[in-house]
Amino acid sequence: MVVIGSDDSFILGVLSSKIHVNWALVCGSKRGVTPVYTKTKCFDPFPFPDPTPEQKQKIRELGEKLDAHRKQVQNQHPDITITGMYNLLEKLRAGQPFTDADKAYNDKALVSILKQIHDELDAAVFEAYGWENTLTDEELLSKLVALNAERAEEESNGLIRWLRPEYQAPNEVTTQLKIAGVTETEETIITPTEQKPFPKKSKEQLAAIRDLLSTSGRQWTLEQIIAQFKITSKQKKTIADHLESLEWFNILTKSTNNGVIRWQYVDKGN
């Protein structure tokens, strides 16, 4: 469980949006097949929008509406869980038919209302960023990476967009997130017994590369990583671009030795 120390529903609204969920699925770790939200990777470097007062209030009201709806459902029906609600919401979004058990659950959980709130919230958060809500997952992640870099440069020049200015000291000096040191390892050729299929969706591609590197404490060259997947020539550049994105997320670190670039997974300590 991760607790965010704020009672501002604006923060709840942004963190509940599609934009942050996509970011967290890429930046977080995994326990088996279950995504794990890691604060130092999912929350700390996440670039919040810089909304107008009207946009911020709209997101805040929708965050309150989301919180109130879930609490009301659970207060009226103690057998309804958050996990159950969102499992059914995922089924609804996928257009899968409801079973009789699903329909009975939905009669209590009111998932169609939950979906409507999330749709409105997503639209409001996209508007706060000034982005079209038709962006693909890959385009969205690229924009977040670019915004993360922009914010880091702003902070190096003394401009800090405080998330909670009433609690954060106005003269506090920001420090860059420290990454555990990288230990040099001897390079070896990795020949897979069977190449893995390369996912079609950008978000799944990023996760596949992350999972590959996280299984070993060693460093990997681009060629070694490419060799693990069944890919086309065009997808070689896709992997190279994804490695750069994962470095921006501080999920991977990059080093150069004798002109050869090597990538290594950053151990989150989980």
What is the band of 104 on the pLDDT scale with cuts at 50, 70, 90? very high
pLDDT digits (tens, 9 = 90+) for 207-264: 899 988 887 778 889 988 988 888 888 888 899 889 988 988 889 999 888 778 899 9
- Beta-carbon count within 10 A of 149 CB: 12
Task: Report the C-alpha gap between 141 and 155 in whole angstroms.
Answer: 21
The H or E element that residue 221 is part of is: strand 220-221
Q: Are 113 and 69 contacting, i.e. CB atoms less than 8 angstroms apart?
A: yes
Rounded to 5 degrees, what are φ and ψ at 150?
A: -65, -45
Residue of 3, 36, 49, 93 whose CA lies nearest to 207? 36
Reported pTM: 0.64
Q: Are 56 and 164 contacting, i.e. CB atoms less than 8 angstroms apart?
A: no
What is the band of 127 on the pLDDT scale with cuts at 50, 70, 90? very high
Domains of the chain listed by start with CATH number: 9-156 (no CATH), 196-265 (1.10.10.10)
